[in-house]
Amino acid sequence: MGSLSIWHWMLVIVVVLLLFGRGKISDLMGDVAQGIKAFKKGMVDDDKAEKAEPKSIENASAQPASRPSDVGSKAV
């Protein structure tokens, strides 16, 4: 009683096709396929970005910019 037979599944498929139509279902599957392709492309792009070496900054040990001193300023 808990399992569905082939006739139940056929009825479900017919109802789904009647509700959504054949065109909407194929459009939906096309959108899903495009999403999967975009996801895979993004994953490949991330791998390429991680493998690229970071640019080194010359003068990394240079002195930090001096800040103006607060000596002599009036607090309001």
Runs of H (alpha helix) within 1-76: 6-51
User: What's the pLDDT tens digit per position in 29-62?
Assistant: 889 999 999 999 988 887 777 776 566 667 655 5
Rounded CA separation 59/63 (Å)? 9
Prediction pTM value: 0.41
Note the pLDDT of residue 3: 78
Q: If we measure between CA atoms, which residue out of 17, 33, 35 comes closest to residue 25? A: 17
Q: What is the mean pLDDT of the chain?
A: 77
Tokens of 11: 């009825």
Rounded CA separation 73/76 (Å)? 9
- Taking residues 6-31, what's their average pLDDT? 86
